[in-house]
Amino acid sequence: MVNKISIIGAGRVGESTAQMLAIKKLTQQIVLIDLDEKYAKGVALDIQETASVYHFDTQLVGSNDIANIQDSNIVIITAGIPRKPGMDRADVLAINLKIIDEIMDGIIKYAPNSYVIVVSNPVDVLTYYANKKANWPRNRIMGQAGILDSMRLSSFIAIETDYSINDIQAMVLGGHGDTMVPLTRFTTISGISIEHLLDQKTIDQLIQRTRDGGAEILNLKQKSSAYDAPGAAVTIMVEAIVHNKNRLLPCITMLKGEYGQTDLAIGVPVILGGNGVEKIIELKFTEQEQQAFDTSAQVIKSLIDEI
Ligand code: NAD
């Protein structure tokens, strides 16, 4: 257990993450920061009131003052605006970039020794920006995307095939979006690649559903995008850091020559432990996999160029 985890942005993903962190007893205190002070306090109190059910002693605090993140061990960034009608991707990027810029000022000032997990979208670009702004060692600022995308692929395989979800391990790398790179070679059911167990047409359909995973939830829910599965994905990262688990997980990290890329933040397999991103695992890609990864990298780079 650590002393303090702060979540900036007490919206849906922030709230779901806070609830799961409390249930898993990963920290003594959770601070939720939002522009809307009353809302942040309401979220904190609502979760606090679940303590007797889940038997946690975690204290929840809601505030609009980023100074309250002082000395956090981990800071999670879930603040931002979603895309609204009439806005293109560049508009969202410009607004969320400004939000991240301010938040990073606060993190650098009040929690200079923390590990930072970026969740706000476009998550690859914002993770890059957070790294550039702080100029900390790259192991301390990372982004979440691939764990969620892999969770989705695993779920779709289980739903489609009836194999137990407990035996399914998926690996999705690259950017968080249309060009994500699901690696079927390394997506297995009890260690056996799905390439041996499912026909190509089924695999293609599962991959397409994974690419459209966020949109599928949005279309169904209408009133909001996904937040429970994203919150769970962030919790896996926090748990790996807090309990020094050295888990091998797909995370967004800055590359310095790995996979033939530099000056880019993108999803790759890493060892996640007590020092954050302890190590980047370099897989030997096939030509096709490398091509898909390079395409994904190119898309992120063109967005980075916009900033
Ligand atoms: P939401 O609208 O429910 O919550 C966002 C919150 O951020 C709001 O409460 C808002 O008041 C707050 N906020 C805005 N600017 C702020 C600032 N400067 N300081 C503090 N708080 C601020 O949105 P959500 O559904 O929780 O999604 C949050 C972000 O996470 C979005 O950018 C979304 O696209 C992203 N997301 C990423 C993933 C992923 O896998 N990386 C998954 C789901 C959502």
**How confident is the model over 230-240, as pLDDT tens digits?**
999 999 999 99
pLDDT band at 107 (very low <50, low <70, confident <90, very high): very high
Q: Quick one: pLDDT at residue 69?
A: 98
Distance CA 116, CA 112 (A): 10
**How confident is the model over 150-192, as pLDDT tens digits?**
999 999 999 999 999 999 999 999 999 899 999 999 999 999 9
Choose the residue to mutate in 8, 16, 32, 34 for probing ligand 1, maximizing ligand atoms within 8 Å of C-beta: 34
Ligand 1 center to 95 CA (angstroms): 12
Ligand 1 center to 77 CA (angstroms): 8
In sequence order, the 6+-apart residues with CB closer than 8 A to the CB of 298 are none
Q: Would you state the structure tokens that stand for residue 239, as one six-digit string? A: 């748990």
Q: Is the pLDDT of residue 63 over 80?
A: yes
Ligand 1 center to 282 CA (angstroms): 31
Cβ of 64 less than 6 Å from ligand 1: no
Q: Quick one: pLDDT at residue 90?
A: 75
Residue 176 annotated in active site: yes
Structural domains of the chain in order of their starting residue, each with its CATH number: 2-143 (3.40.50.720), 146-306 (3.90.110.10)
Cβ of 176 less than 6 Å from ligand 1: yes
pTM of the model: 0.98
The position carrying tokens 């993770």 is 127
The total of other beta-carbon atoms located within 10 Å of residue 133's CB is 16
The total of other beta-carbon atoms located within 10 Å of residue 286's CB is 11
Distance CA 302, CA 18 (A): 33
299's enclosing H/E stretch is: helix 287-306
Of 194, 198, 196, 201, nearest in space to 172 by CA: 194
